[in-house]
Structure 1
Amino acid sequence: MICREQDGAFVMVKQHEHGRLAGEFAQWFKEEHVPEGNRRAEVLRAVSNHDRGWIDLDETPFWNDAAGAPYSFIDFPVVPKLTFYKRGLNEIEADTPYGALLCSLHFERLIEVSGEDCPELTAYLKDEEERRARIHRDLEKNQPIGEGELYYDARLLQFSDDLSLYLALNEPGSPKSEEHPWWKDGFSGSEDFSFTSGRLISAEWQDASTLMLDPFPFTRDVEVAMVLRKVSKKEIASKGIASAYSSAPEEECRITVTSRPKAD
């Protein structure tokens, strides 16, 4: 679950919903910068489904007593999180082994950034290293991975994931000074795309329904509808997080992602 606070409530977005938005962003990424190959459809499916391991977990949110807030993907306990990571990767691999390779690398990067450490995590990393080695061997027999292909696709997944998270973790229309600290300097890794000329892609709200990016990474303006629930803190206090979440109506937050106007 992705959570942020707003006016006596928690705004909550399911992980798989966030993944769906990431897939929409990847679909409209500038194709002229995509390495030649015939795995585009697989990559798009992988990006859209990279967080499918959270589907069952997000049906009923859990309360973090220490934080006084719902557990989110940031602080969710490691052992069950790894179990569902692996389950999601197994489902992705059944559809697209290359996509599972891509998502496995993505999760490894997230774990490294988190700094988490425990025996279960060590075992998970070892298992995933073996999964990636097996997939590499199988692909080399029939469909070898081109030079730079995996590196590029990993950056595409990372950026699409980050941009979708940006929409969920920032209040639409908020000033740059209130931006979530993860993206204060721009989207990490985006400087590797050739069209950025080494610049980080940065974001800024034009208003509550329009987000501007510079440099602009898409072939057109992209409009997305993010499904969320605003769960009242009073409702949580009176009947618990599970019941309060279940009774909160789903809402759509529509955002258009566009380019920043050029200065005169």
Structure 2
Amino acid sequence: MFITKHDGYLFIVNQYDHSVQAGEVVRHWGNVHFAWPEAFQSLCLAVEKHDIGWIESDSKVVFDPETRQPVPFNRVDLLQHVEFYGKGYEQVAAEDPYAGLLVGMHWIGLYTSRFGYDPSFTFRVPDELVPFMNEKIINTQKGWIDLKMKLWNKKEPRSRFEDQLWMNYEIVQFMDRLSQYVSIHTLDTQNQFILGPVRQTVDSEGVMFTVQGQGDGNVVVDPFPFDSEVETTVHLRKIPDISYGSHEEVYQTMEEAAIERVTWKFIPAK
């Protein structure tokens, strides 16, 4: 869950709702400046389902007995974090191996500074769990070797396949963070995110994006990677920002909270 505090309330967006919203937006990727990626449908599926492993935890609500509040995604226990993403990875891979590979890369990247793509973000691994995580990271990546051999079209250079795969990974990361922007802010925000890099073509250098709210629900994305302005909806619930007596109490409060649909629009710079 994305959980932010505004005006005495906890604003809550479920992980899977966030990924579905990102998946809707990424289907607009591509214009004269940003190439339409190869394996596009698999890329869109990966973005849409990169957090599918969180459905059960979101529905049950992870509760912190110390804060007496629901737990945001970035403070979930590491072993639970691994379990949720691992299940999602396996589920997507069974449906679409290429999409599953991208979800697996997203998952493992969360413990490795996104493979150096975004050193500012990595999930903290407690010292006592470093050996476990090292083994998980290594073994998961070993499993990608056979998968890549099956997905690689032998008529093209292997390096080309890898370059396109990693470009698609860059797009998954960008879309994850872009969706986070509208999931954690209110419509009046003018906060700025710097995201990227993402390549415009498989042979180009990556570019950085400036993402900035205009205070009215419009969000300028510069440079603009989509085929047109993109309207998108965030599903949000609000519950009082208080200490809850039990997991059952916060669960019941969440169940009774109405789902609000907040409309945003991604637009190019003028």
Structure 2 distance, partners of 1:40, 1:203, is 23
**Per-residue Cα deviation, 1:185-238 (whole angstroms, up to 9, x for no partner):** x11324x335x9865211222233211111112110000111110011358459
Report the equivalent of 1:13. Answer: 13
Structure 2 distance, partners of 1:7, 1:35, is 41
Cα separation, partners in 2 of 1:197 and 1:127, compared to 1, 3 Å: closer
Q: Is the 8 A contact 1:62 1:241 kept in 2?
A: no
Report the equivalent of 1:127. Answer: 139
SS in 2 for 1:218: coil
* Match 2:186 to one of 171, 177, 180: 171
Report matched runs for 1:96-135 at 5 Å: 96-112=96-112, 113-117=122-126, 118=129, 119-135=131-147
Q: Is the 8 A contact 2:19 2:176 kept in 1?
A: yes
Report the equivalent of 2:25. Answer: 25
Report the equivalent of 2:226. Answer: 218
Report the equivalent of 2:262. Answer: 253
AA matched with 2:35: V
Q: Is the 8 A contact 1:79 1:120 kept in 2?
A: no
Report the equivalent of 1:34. Answer: 35
AA matched with 1:52: I
As a proportion of its length, which structure holds more helix? 1
Using the size of structure 2 for normalisation, the TM-score is 0.84
Where structure 1 has 5 or more consecutive residues not aligned to the other structure, the ranges are: none
CA deviation after TM superposition for structure 1 residue 36, in Å = 6.2
Q: How many residues align?
A: 252
SS in 1 for 2:110: helix
Structure 1 distance, partners of 2:86, 2:207, is 35
Report the equivalent of 2:118. Answer: none
Where structure 2 has 5 or more consecutive residues not aligned to the other structure, the ranges are: 113-121
CA deviation after TM superposition for structure 1 residue 141, in Å = 6.8
Structure 2 distance, partners of 1:212, 1:98, is 31
Q: Is the 8 A contact 1:46 1:102 kept in 2?
A: yes
Report matched runs for 1:151-230 at 5 Å: 151-176=166-191, 183=193, 186-190=194-198, 192-193=199-200, 199-230=207-238
AA matched with 2:221: L
Structure 2 distance, partners of 1:211, 1:250, is 22
AA matched with 2:232: V
CA deviation after TM superposition for structure 1 residue 51, in Å = 0.6
More moved, 3-12 vs 112-121: 112-121
Matched, 1:74 2:86: no
RMSD: 2.6
Cα separation, partners in 2 of 1:42 and 1:70, compared to 1, 3 Å: same
Matched, 1:243 2:255: no
Structure 1 distance, partners of 2:239, 2:60, is 13
Q: Is the 8 A contact 1:92 1:100 kept in 2?
A: yes
Cα separation, partners in 2 of 1:44 and 1:204, compared to 1, 3 Å: same
Q: Is the 8 A contact 2:187 2:215 kept in 1?
A: yes
